Structure 1
Amino acid sequence: MSAPYDEHEARGLARALGWMSLGLGTAQLTAPRAVGRTAGVDDSPVIRALLPLVGLRELTHAAGLLRGHRPTRWAWTRVAGDAMDLAILGTALRDRRGPRRQRVAAATAAVAGITAIDLYTALRARAAAGGTGDLHLRASVTVNRPRAEAYRHWREFGNLPRFMTHLRSVDDIGEGRTRWTAEAPVKSTVSWEAELVEDLPDELIAWRSLRDTGQGPGVSSSGSVRFSDAPGGRGTEVRVEMTYAPPGGRVGAAFARLFGEHPEQQVRDDLRRFKQILETGEVARSDARPEGFRARGFARERPAQPVA
Structure 2
Amino acid sequence: MSEGHDRTTDRLARALGWASLGLGVVQVAAPGAVSRLSGVDDSARARGTILLVGARELFHAAVLLGSRNPASWVWTRVAGDALDLTALGQALANRAGRRRGRVAAVTAAVAGITAVDMYTAVRANRPHEDRGEDGRDERTMNLHAAITINRPREEVYRYWRDFENLPRFMAHLESVEMVGGGRSRWKARAPLKKTVEWEAEIVEDRSGELIAWRSTEGALVGNSGSVRFSDAPGGRGTEMRVNLGYDPPGGKIGMTLARLLGEHPEQQVRDDLRRFKQVVETGEVVRSEGSPEGTRAVRQLIQRPAQPVR
Q: TM-score, normalised by structure 2?
A: 0.83
Moved more, 171-180 or 243-252: 243-252
Per-residue deviation, 1:93: 3.5
Give the match for residue 295 of structure 1.
300
Mark the CA change 1:205 to 1:18 in structure 2 (over 3 Å): closer, same or farther.
Answer: farther
Give the match for residue 53 of structure 2.
54
Give the match for residue 251 of structure 1.
253
Q: Quote the Cα distance in structure 2 between the aligned partners of 1:44 and 1:254.
A: 34
Moved more, 151-160 or 172-181: 172-181
Mark the CA change 1:253 to 1:60 in structure 2 (over 3 Å): closer, same or farther.
Answer: farther
Contact 1:137–1:241 (8 Å) recurs in 2: yes
Q: Helix, strand or coil for the counterpart of 1:291? A: coil
Mark the CA change 1:264 to 1:57 in structure 2 (over 3 Å): closer, same or farther.
Answer: farther
Q: TM-score, normalised by structure 1?
A: 0.83
CA deviations 1:274-301 (Å, max 9, x no partner) are 1122222222211132422332354244
Contact 1:208–1:222 (8 Å) recurs in 2: yes
Count of aligned pairs: 299
CA deviations 1:80-102 (Å, max 9, x no partner) are 33233233334434543443333
Per-residue deviation, 1:49: 4.1
Contact 1:11–1:71 (8 Å) recurs in 2: yes
Moved more, 266-275 or 68-77: 68-77
Give the match for residue 87 of structure 1.
86
Q: Helix, strand or coil for the counterpart of 1:257? A: helix
Q: Quote the Cα distance in structure 1 between the aligned partners of 2:212 and 2:183.
A: 12
Give the match for residue 189 of structure 1.
195
Question: In the TM superposition, what are the counterparts of 1:265-276 in structure 2 within 5 Å?
Answer: 265-276=267-278
Query: Residue 236 of structure 2 aligns to which amino acid in structure 1?
Result: R
Which one of 256, 280, 283 corresponds to residue 281 of structure 1? 283
Contact 1:260–1:295 (8 Å) recurs in 2: no
Identical residues among aligned pairs (%): 59
Q: Quote the Cα distance in structure 2 between the aligned partners of 1:284 and 1:202.
A: 26
**In angstroms, what is the RMSD of aligned CA positions?**
2.8
Mark the CA change 1:147 to 1:105 in structure 2 (over 3 Å): closer, same or farther.
Answer: same
Query: Residue 191 of structure 2 aligns to which amino acid in structure 1?
Result: P
Q: Quote the Cα distance in structure 2 between the aligned partners of 1:116 and 1:24.
A: 17
Question: In the TM superposition, what are the counterparts of 1:62-141 in structure 2 within 5 Å?
Answer: 62-68=61-67, 71=70, 73-128=72-127, 130=129, 133-141=139-147
Give the match for residue 200 of structure 1.
206
Contact 1:228–1:238 (8 Å) recurs in 2: yes
> Structure 1 segments of 4 or more deviating over 6 A?
none
Q: Quote the Cα distance in structure 2 between the aligned partners of 1:202 and 1:76.
A: 43
Per-residue deviation, 1:118: 0.9
Query: Residue 178 of structure 1 aligns to which amino acid in structure 2?
Result: S
Q: List alignment gaps of at least 5 residues for structure 1.
A: none
Mark the CA change 1:121 to 1:200 in structure 2 (over 3 Å): closer, same or farther.
Answer: same
Query: Residue 84 of structure 1 aligns to which amino acid in structure 2?
Result: L
